[in-house]
Amino acid sequence: MSDHAESGSHAENTQSCHVHIVPVKVLIGVFLVLVALTVVTVEAAKYDTGELDVIVSMAIATVKASLVVFIFMHLWYDKPLNKIAFFISIIFAAFFLCMILLDSHAYDAYVKGFQQDKTPTVAPAATAPAPAAAPAPAEAVALPAKK
Amino acid sequence: MNTAATTTTDEHADSHDHEHHDPRLAHHFDSHQQQFDTGKLGIWLFLVTEVLFFSGLFGFYAVYRSLHPEVFLYASQFLDTVLGAANTVVLLFSSLTMAWGVRCAQLGQTRGLLVCLVTTLACAAIFLGVKSFEYTEKAHHGLLWAGMYQSPEHHEADAAAAPAAEHGETAEHAHTAAADHGDESLFEKTKHTLSYMTTVLWVVIVLAGIAFGVFIKKPGKMTLATVAGCVLISAFGMMLGTYASIGYHHFGHAEKPTDEEIQMAETVPAEYAKQKEKVPEPALAGTFFSVYFCMTGLHAIHIIGGMIAISWLIVRTVHGAFTTYYFGAVDFVGLYWHLVDLIWIYLFPLLYLIN
Amino acid sequence: MATVVDSSNPKSNFPIQYRELNYLNCSKGWKSWFFTLDHKRIGIMYLIGVTTSFFLGGLFAMLLRTELLSPSRILMGADSYNQMFTLHGAIMTFLVIIPGVPAAIGNIILPIMLGAKDVAFPRMNLGSFYLWMFGAFFFLAAIVLGGLDTGWTFYTPYSITTSTAVITALMGVFILGFSSIFTGLNFIVTIHTMRPPGMTWFKMPLFLWALYATALIQILATPVLGITGLLLIVERAFHIGIFDPALGGDPVLFQHFFWFYSHPAVYVMILPAMGVVSEVIAVHSRKHIFGYRFIAYSSIAIAAFGFLVWGHHMFVSGQSKVVAVVFSAITFSVSIPSAIKVFNWLTTMYKGSIHFTTAMCYGLSFIFIFTIGGLTGLFLATLATDVHLHDTYFVVAHFHYVMMGSSLVGLFAAVHHWWPKISGRMFNEYWGRIACLGVFMGFNLTFFPQFLLGTRGMPRRYYTYLPEFQNLHILSTMGAYLLGISSTLMVATLIYSIYHGKKAPANPWGGASLEWQCSSPPPGNNFDHPPLAGDPYVMESVVYNEEIGGYVPAECQGDNTGSVTASGDKEV
């Protein structure tokens, strides 16, 4: 802030704009931490920790993301409204993800069962670019009927 | 710098006039502070829409990864972690220079701002260069989205069937492989599209440059020279990225090739050739590449958008548009750029680091 | 009270009623319209575009209803019928109702209501209009390039396999989505940063609360529509296997993606109309709005609930049972804020001095129709009943009661309420009310029989039906014709007033919010000095003045000696 006061000393009333200025040392420090975390996440991925893998890599990514958001994007020093706006977007995205994950897992059994009944070899058909008219539309219609 | 001097004289001239004649203050705002805060809220809300825009793709990813984990495990081995990590660092560095640039703008350091913006632009171009190499390599091996996906196993069988094939004539292999599926023209077209991706990117950037020339109020020599400079930096950065990754690819994968490996390398991905015991390919392996191309493709489009915005900033900086009380545009483009970086921070482990 | 006082006649205390130089005539030539950054002009262009699309979509509706006069073929076969209802739905949804109140009326009124000179980002506002034009162009292109027969919902896998112009139409939807996002973004920022001195959040007119809630939905939901459209385009063009079951994709996932936007979008359509009705009922009942805070909060509550209920469109799509029960329960709770609004409007009218102006008539029609539309929604939210009623005319009637009968009637109310402000002319109340009666009767005659048809098992989207349904179908078609004629009459009355109507006073209805303080039509920059805002619903602050034919601030009424149609800045 003091930096700004010096350079903007001759600014008039309407010609002033008070913002937080991040020192260079902090910027470079954050960058070095980010690079270090990238190396850590690459190394961590080499060890097979099973289920934990996703959690570890996502946790590291979230730490990195927070650094970028709070320091590089100044959100830490920003108005509360901007913080709220950003976190609402994260909450809504998370909510959307949770709902579709919850639901697609719930009806996955129907889909798998249907595929086994109908087309036992669905995979190699993946190379056919144009979906054949025959089996494709049938699924959506048949699904509710199976219940 | 000359421009900085002009800026200060402008300020003094302005101070005699009525406040609304300040060309940097839109007529419906009372003060620069209000104008800045308004813009800041606007850009944050725009970032909100961007996050939700990408959330659709993350949903795509989450659903298919949780339902078919074996597909992601199998297919992600074909992505080059080193290139991905290098790209991450490049993008992080561009974020650093962007944040530094915002600092320079806030302090009125025009020259520092210019250096930072140019570095950011160059980093973005290097990122795209590496990306276009990766895309081309994937296309070369038929590792495309579900509708175009060609199994490496298929290539292998193909290579075994035609052992006399000469080195370097890979197009023919792909050709024969594709012909089996009866969608040769479509496959070839896709491959070419991706191979010439760099060209397309250049065209976009050149067009954007022309658009600058048209839209800038006083298209003088300086503007045109700056636009040309931005285009050159972008082109050079992309070439640097592409050739660096080609060099890395040859160095990394062709160290001690056996004859068999050389022959294989022409048709199948190196990762597949190196596999000690072949993991059976799961069904729907192409879905991973659908996710990969959708996510990184949309991200790349955002990078291009960012490059255009940064070039626009460079032009305005050269004209001395930014002062200690008017630097909103730099800050807002910076926020957008950091968000693009943020998305990559998540994309990298999600796509490249699956074990 | 900082009203704009007649500058040409220092003796007068009256606010300026009419200026020779206003936003409509302050600059001339097509460039001054097509490249304007003035929110009012952009709003007018939106209004013209929306009206044109409304008549195009209405024409399709007339053709559909004509075809349904008899079970046999009259005008078109099954395929053309499919295309016709798809285009009717897509045009009415994306081109008319969604931009109707927020982009057209909101653009004109919101900054004036805030006492601001313009919206926060005027260039983005103009860009948003051109995106709308561009999206509309893609829709027209889709009609030319082989039509569209997927229904406006683009359900997969049919939308992947059909040979019609799905990609073109989806491009249109994608672009229109961004137009909507930019409008919403502009409104949120404007309301946050440009409120005048004295206007706290709870002194904002309720129309602004409604627009704010709408804008929240536009910001948070529309991007998902954008990515859904994009993914479907990519799926159709490149076969990425996300929605296509032949490649291992998941069609139900598409429905989740689509309804995550499109259910909140229903509230993008209805919320602004509710805001309009809150204004209209209070002003024309000459009474302070009842339960201000409840109406304000209920707008936000509806927006919030709107995000949590999209699954009720998918009860029979193969969605899991747990999720269906959750969605059903939350859907019921949406009725709470909606009912709060209806009760508050009714209580506002209680013991008010109700003026049956055209705008008020539309407002009352809204309350009647919305109540039916809202309550029939509860039938569809009930899981067991929905299985019976799903994809029947009951659903068609329900959403027309809400989307057409409520949203569009709300738009009509808004246009009539603010027409003097927008055009500077008074329309003919007699013909306006006749048109309103026709719209009300025609609407109910069209869609009430469809409730009956639906409960008896008439499926939607069929171009033919069993003979026993014919009587009700004929009734419905007759109603549709009446509706078509009445809306034409409404537009004709308004257009006639532009050329032959008498000049409007600044405040013809006696509203107390800021937009009635500037002259009609407003000058280019709305207010010379930022006005001071008070409570927007104290109707006693203005009194009727015979001489002017409108309302003037109570403190000016004492010594009324000034000229009433003062000339503007030009002659000074």
- As a whole number of angstroms, the distance between CA C129 and CA B155 comes to 51
Q: Specify whether A65 is located in the same domain as A102.
A: no
Q: Specify whether A51 is located in the same domain as A113.
A: no
Q: What confidence category does residue B270 fall into, taking pLDDT thresholds of 50, 70 and 90?
A: low
Q: What confidence category does residue B6 fall into, taking pLDDT thresholds of 50, 70 and 90?
A: very low
Task: Provide, as residue numbers in chain C, all residues whose Cβ is less than 8 Å from the Cβ of B190.
Answer: 238
* Best B58, B113, B345 residue to mutate vs chain A (most A CBs within 10 Å): B345
The chains found to touch B (3+ Cβ pairs under 8 angstroms) are A, C
Q: What confidence category does residue B24 fall into, taking pLDDT thresholds of 50, 70 and 90?
A: confident
Q: Specify whether A121 is located in the same domain as A73.
A: no
Give the one of B27, B37, B64 whose C-beta lies nearest to C117's C-beta: B27
Q: How distant is the Cα of C208 from the closest Cα of chain A, in angstroms?
A: 19
The DSSP output letter for C546 is T
Put residue C318 in one of left, alpha, beta given phi > 0 → left and psi -120 to 50 → alpha: left
The DSSP output letter for A131 is P
Q: How distant is the Cα of A109 from the closest Cα of chain C, in angstroms?
A: 10
Domain boundary (A59, A78, A97) is at A78
Q: Specify whether A61 is located in the same domain as A5.
A: yes
The pLDDT assigned to B209 comes to: 64
CB-based contact, A42 to chain B, within 8 Å: yes
Q: What ipTM was assigned to the predicted interfaces of this complex?
A: 0.90
The pLDDT assigned to B159 comes to: 53
**Strand partners for C553:** C542
Task: Provide, as residue numbers in chain C, all residues whose Cβ is less than 8 Å from the Cβ of B293.
Answer: 240
CA gyration radius, chain C: 24
Cβ neighbours for A141, distance < 8 A, ≥ 6 positions apart: none
Task: Provide, as residue numbers in chain B, all residues whose Cβ is less than 8 Å from the Cβ of A126.
Answer: 146-147, 149, 283-286
Task: Provide, as residue numbers in chain A, all residues whose Cβ is less than 8 Å from the Cβ of B335.
Answer: 73
The pTM of this model reads 0.86
Q: In chain A, count of helices (H) and strands (E)?
A: 5, 0
* C389: enclosing H helix or E strand: helix C383-389
Q: Specify whether A90 is located in the same domain as A72.
A: no
Task: Provide, as residue numbers in chain B, all residues whose Cβ is less than 8 Å from the Cβ of A71.
Answer: 99
Peptide bond preceding C459 in cis form (omega within 30 of 0): no
**Strand partners for C425:** C503
Domain count, chain C: 1
The pLDDT assigned to B165 comes to: 41
Task: Provide, as residue numbers in chain A, all residues whose Cβ is less than 8 Å from the Cβ of C247.
Answer: 125-126, 131
Q: Specify whether A139 is located in the same domain as A104.
A: yes
- As a whole number of angstroms, the distance between CA B93 and CA B72 comes to 29
The closest alpha carbon to B292, from B148, B96, B188, belongs to: B148
- Which residue would you say has higher pLDDT here, B198 or C161? C161
Q: What confidence category does residue B260 fall into, taking pLDDT thresholds of 50, 70 and 90?
A: low
Scanning every residue of chain A, which has its alpha carbon at the shortest distance from the alpha carbon of B282?
A: A123
Residue with tokens 């950011």: B120
Scanning every residue of chain C, which has its alpha carbon at the shortest distance from the alpha carbon of B186?
A: C238
Cβ count within 10 A of residue C131: 21
Which residues 69-128 of chain B have a CB within 8 Å of chain A? Answer: 81, 85, 88-89, 92-93, 95-96, 98-100, 103, 106-108
Task: Kindly compute the dihedral angle of the four CA atoms of residues C121, C122, C128, C133, in this order, to the nearest 10 degrees.
Answer: 180
HSE, CB side, 13 Å, CA atoms: give it for residue C202: 6
CB-based contact, B49 to chain C, within 8 Å: yes
The pLDDT assigned to B267 comes to: 57
Q: What confidence category does residue A104 fall into, taking pLDDT thresholds of 50, 70 and 90?
A: confident
* C550: enclosing H helix or E strand: strand C550-553
Residue C8 covered by a domain: no
Domain ranges of chain B: 32-352
Q: Specify whether A85 is located in the same domain as A111.
A: yes
CB-based contact, B47 to chain C, within 8 Å: no
The pLDDT assigned to B244 comes to: 86
The chains found to touch C (3+ Cβ pairs under 8 angstroms) are A, B
Q: Which two tokens stand for residue A57?
A: 């890599």
Scanning every residue of chain C, which has its alpha carbon at the shortest distance from the alpha carbon of A112?
A: C248
The pLDDT assigned to B29 comes to: 86
CB-based contact, A36 to chain B, within 8 Å: no
Question: What number is the average pLDDT over the span B200-205?
Answer: 67
Which domain range does residue C296 map to?
36-562
- For the stretch C373-382, what's the b/e string if a residue is b when 16 or more beta carbons lie within 10 angstroms of its beta carbon? bbebbebbbb
Collapsed DSSP state (helix, strand, coil) of residue A51: coil
Task: Provide, as residue numbers in chain C, all residues whose Cβ is less than 8 Å from the Cβ of A122.
Answer: 248
* C542: enclosing H helix or E strand: strand C542-545
Q: How distant is the Cα of C219 from the closest Cα of chain A, in angstroms?
A: 9
CA distances C332 to B219, C242, C335, C454, Å, are 60, 32, 6, 21
The pLDDT assigned to B264 comes to: 54
Q: Specify whether A90 is located in the same domain as A101.
A: yes
Q: Taking the mean position of all CA atoms in its chain, how far away is CA A105?
A: 20
Q: How distant is the Cα of B306 from the closest Cα of chain A, in angstroms?
A: 15
Cβ neighbours for A30, distance < 8 A, ≥ 6 positions apart: A67, A68, A71, A72, B96
The pLDDT assigned to A54 comes to: 85
Residue C7 covered by a domain: no
CB-based contact, B150 to chain C, within 8 Å: no
Q: Specify whether A67 is located in the same domain as A22.
A: yes
The chains found to touch A (3+ Cβ pairs under 8 angstroms) are B, C
- For the stretch B307-319, what's the b/e string if a residue is b when 16 or more beta carbons lie within 10 angstroms of its beta carbon? bbbbbbbbbbbbb
Cβ separation of A27 and B30 shorter than 8 Å? no
- As a whole number of angstroms, the distance between CA B146 and CA A127 comes to 7
Residue C378 covered by a domain: yes
Question: What number is the average pLDDT over the span A32-59?
Answer: 87
Domain count, chain A: 2
CB-based contact, B295 to chain C, within 8 Å: no
Q: Specify whether A30 is located in the same domain as A63.
A: yes
- As a whole number of angstroms, the distance between CA C341 and CA C297 comes to 10
The pLDDT assigned to C397 comes to: 96
The pLDDT assigned to A27 comes to: 94
Q: Which two tokens stand for residue B27?
A: 């007529």
- As a whole number of angstroms, the distance between CA A98 and CA A101 comes to 5
Fold of B32-352: Four Helix Bundle (Hemerythrin (Met), subunit A) (1.20.120)
Cβ separation of C161 and A140 shorter than 8 Å? no
Scanning every residue of chain B, which has its alpha carbon at the shortest distance from the alpha carbon of C526?
A: B28
Residue B3 has pLDDT above 60, yes or no: no
Residue C570 covered by a domain: no
Task: Provide, as residue numbers in chain A, all residues whose Cβ is less than 8 Å from the Cβ of B62.
Answer: 97, 100-101
- As a whole number of angstroms, the distance between CA B175 and CA B194 comes to 16
Give the one of C246, C316, C319 whose C-beta lies nearest to A107's C-beta: C319
Q: Which two tokens stand for residue C288?
A: 């302070």
Cβ separation of C160 and A131 shorter than 8 Å? yes
Q: The domain that contains C253 carries what CATH number?
A: 1.20.210.10
Q: How distant is the Cα of C456 from the closest Cα of chain A, in angstroms?
A: 22
The pLDDT assigned to B15 comes to: 38
Which domain range does residue A90 map to?
80-147
Question: What number is the average pLDDT over the span B296-300?
Answer: 94
Task: Kindly compute the dihedral angle of the four CA atoms of residues B79, B83, B88, B91, in this order, to the nearest 10 degrees.
Answer: -120
The closest alpha carbon to C448, from C499, C484, C485, C396, belongs to: C396
* C552: enclosing H helix or E strand: strand C550-553
Q: Which two tokens stand for residue A2?
A: 């003091």
CB-based contact, A142 to chain C, within 8 Å: no
Cβ separation of B349 and A85 shorter than 8 Å? no
Q: Which two tokens stand for residue B312?
A: 């626009």
Q: What is the pLDDT of residues B34-87, one digit of tens each?
A: 899 999 999 999 999 999 999 999 999 999 999 888 888 888 888 888 899 999
The closest alpha carbon to B307, from B208, B172, B240, B217, belongs to: B208
Q: What is the pLDDT of residues A111-145, one digit of tens each?
A: 777 777 765 444 444 444 444 334 434 344 334 43
Collapsed DSSP state (helix, strand, coil) of residue A53: helix
Per-residue model confidence as pLDDT tens for chain C (572 residues): 344 444 444 445 667 777 778 888 888 888 888 888 999 999 999 999 999 999 999 999 999 999 999 999 888 888 899 999 999 999 999 999 999 999 999 999 999 999 898 999 999 999 999 999 999 999 889 888 888 888 888 998 899 988 888 999 999 999 999 999 999 999 999 999 998 888 999 999 999 999 999 999 999 999 999 999 999 999 988 888 889 888 888 888 999 999 988 899 889 999 999 999 999 999 999 999 999 999 999 999 999 998 889 989 988 888 888 888 989 999 999 999 999 999 999 999 999 999 999 999 999 999 999 999 999 999 999 999 999 999 999 999 999 999 999 999 999 999 999 999 999 999 999 999 999 999 999 999 999 999 999 999 999 999 999 999 999 999 999 999 999 999 999 999 999 999 999 999 999 999 999 999 888 899 888 887 778 888 899 998 888 988 888 898 887 765 444 444 443 333 32
Cβ separation of C307 and A92 shorter than 8 Å? yes
Domain boundary (A78, A102, A137) is at A78
Cβ separation of C185 and B49 shorter than 8 Å? yes
Residue A43 has pLDDT above 80, yes or no: yes
Give the one of A110, A111, A136 whose C-beta lies nearest to C244's C-beta: A136
